[in-house]
Structure 1
């Protein structure tokens, strides 16, 4: 990362890193996502309405396919996290996720923050969004509300689809209702993440973000990875992502000490102690 990119992340709560990933990794992950889309796991989601082009999502793909495991645990993204938190003594994988908007997928991603979904607390939480296709405003680039990570507020999580399995999970959220960012869109300053394969977008867990639908004839595919530093702590509040069985029903929430470390088999350390098994690229 450059000093300017790091400063942008700290100031705006999101930053685009240009040309930071080897194209070989991008191609490797594009093949993995193609496999996943062709043969989706039963735990995947489709946030689009019946009969519409898919807005596909899959949580914890690293548990399903060794390519995702290689990317999240042994790939180059953890080095970005280390640069964001130069004083951390460790970096852990929290989870990874695939998002794919098929050509013509008009379903938007609702405005939200990541933190209220996560059973985590602390500032050392980072999502890295890696595009596998050229992403434009028309194909569903993510919009990040600049500076919203500094507002000192966490908003009630928003279900990505209005079905009971999702909406009931967040009823008991301890957080405040969020304003209508769509209605007031023009009042704010946004970073629109138009990116190319090889780029990456970082955002803070309190940064408000969302995206429009994909109105093009091209895919908008991305792999995201969430890492934590040593100042992140376990916070199993009553409306976290593990309550949403549509999203995490295939994964059991670990029994960890509130306020303590998240390190466990599900959230492994990726730096500094992990070693690459023989045969893993």
Structure 2
């Protein structure tokens, strides 16, 4: 479901998120802001000279040849401009509204750049197996710093898939879903400045970037601090437990 460029009532966002498991908020950042963060993203990756490629082995079946992907965990610890975006009320108010809570806590962030012509896809999956929580009040926000049409490998989702709860993923350890097929997912093309919010139970993935331009996104995973993890994982992520909105009523902080 796509929201209009003027910021909608948060209750409307929350209802659509509850019904479909995701909501695409148009123009949360201005075009100028998106371009600014796009440049900082590429400068940061060049500065740090990270050569590791996080492409999933299970992604090989979605492409005719080898693909590439650039990424960086915890960009906010390398550039303060990303830290500002983490606590921007335009983001945190929506995150709180769609989860139906007052308090929003950081889990982790990842910066992704899909290079042109062969930017790696992501097979369909839920985020739940990577960091399961007791009450499933965990979500993600994908900030688009440049346009992401279908040919750039935009995100795809299965609307309403969150209602079925956790699903059985591949036993190979790559956590991709054996079904439904990738083509069954609905593309969510986005423009620079748009932000896609979805639950960690929503089935999603993304295609290959076959265009002649990179696709630049920043993923923020967040949670209700009152929702405890059932498995201790991702504890390597810097800043996990940081409050982005409100307070932590548990005093648990990073776990």
Which category describes the TM-score, using the shorter chain as reference length?
Answer: 0.7 to 0.9
Q: Which residue pairs with 1:180 in the alignment?
A: 179
TM-score, normalization: structure 1?
0.71
| Cα drift, residue 203 of structure 1 | 0.8
58-67 or 131-140, which deviates more: 58-67
Corresponding residue for 2:33?
25
Cross-structure match for 2:78? 64
Q: 1:179 to 1:47 in 2, by over 3 A?
A: closer
Q: Which whole-Å CA distance do the structure 2 matches of 1:269 and 1:227 have between them?
A: 10
Secondary structure of residue in 1 paired with 2:76: helix
Aligned residues: 233
Where 1:207 maps in the other structure, the secondary structure is coil
* Distance in 2 between residues matched to 1:44 and 1:268, nearest whole Å: 27
Q: Which runs of 5+ in 2 are unaligned?
A: 1-7, 58-64, 249-255
> Which ranges of structure 1 fall in alignment gaps of 5 or more residues?
159-166, 243-247, 253-264, 275-281
Structure 1 stretch displaced more, 109-118 or 120-129: 120-129
Q: Distance in 2 between matches of 1:266 and 1:8?
A: 28
How far off is 1:4 after superposition?
4.7
CA change 1:79–1:19 in 2 (3 A) is same
Tell which deviates more after alignment, 20-29 or 113-122: 20-29
CA distance in 1, matches of 2:205, 2:152: 13
CA gap of 1:85–1:148, structure 2 versus 1, over 3 A, is: closer
How big is the shift at 1:57?
A: 1.8
TM-score normalized with structure 2 length? 0.78
Does 2:90 align with 1:76? yes
The C-alpha deviation readout for 1:42-100, integer Å capped at 9, x for no partner, is 48544289x966311222222222222221134631121122234x2421111111111
